[in-house]
A = this chain, B = another copy of it.
Amino acid sequence: MTTMTESMPTLEQVVTKIESVKVAKSLTWAELAEKMGQSPVWVAAALTGQCSMSEDDCAAVKDALELTDADCKVLQGYPYRGSLTQTIPSDPFVYRFYEIMQVYGMAMKEVAQEEFGDGIMSAIDFSIDVDREPDPKGDRVKITFSGKFLPYKKF
């Protein structure tokens, strides 16, 4: 089953390599995001195989992450998204989002639809910011979702 064309790495292999280099060189997502001119959450998602990068995105971090041309080509594909192998994630940081959806999901739906009518917040035309909110009683994590409102179309 030998192939004349040089074999491409899988996306999983590229991601494993990125994680290894990032730890070895003590790089941060913030530094990589600055190089790329994108937000840290998007960059962390893209470099762990959850988003599709442009050629320029990849070029900006190619040296830092010691990527090859083949690695970059793979990172420009359109991945099968979903970073979790469990239906309900066991990790406490990630689980809290599941808990928020369970406890407040219907309430967010009620309030948003009262304001916007029948429809949803897009998770595609969408962005996330993660910020520090200083607080004397202990700093807070502030996470902001911004998604286009998509009204249900009648047909």
Give A contacts to B, CB under 8 Å: 1, 3-10, 13-14, 16-17, 19-21, 23-25, 28-30, 38-42, 44-45, 48, 50-52, 66, 68, 70-71, 73-74, 77-78, 80-84, 86-128, 130, 132-133, 135, 137-155
Residue from the list B30, B108, B141 in contact with A130, Cβ < 8 A: B108
Q: Is the CB of B122 within 8 A of A101?
A: no
A-B contact pairs, 24 of them (CB 8 A): A5-B21, A8-B19, A23-B74, A28-B114, A29-B114, A38-B154, A38-B155, A41-B111, A42-B107, A51-B154, A78-B118, A80-B106, A88-B88, A90-B102, A93-B108, A96-B122, A96-B147, A116-B132, A121-B143, A128-B155, A139-B148, A140-B146, A143-B146, A143-B147
Interfacial chain B residues near A100, Cβ < 8 Å? 97, 123, 126, 128, 145
Quote the shortest CB–CB distance from A99 to chain B (angstroms). 5
Those 5 A-B pairs whose CB atoms lie nearest each other, nearest first: A82-B90, A127-B155, A121-B141, A45-B107, A44-B107
Interfacial chain B residues near A1, Cβ < 8 Å? 9, 13-14, 17, 68, 70-71
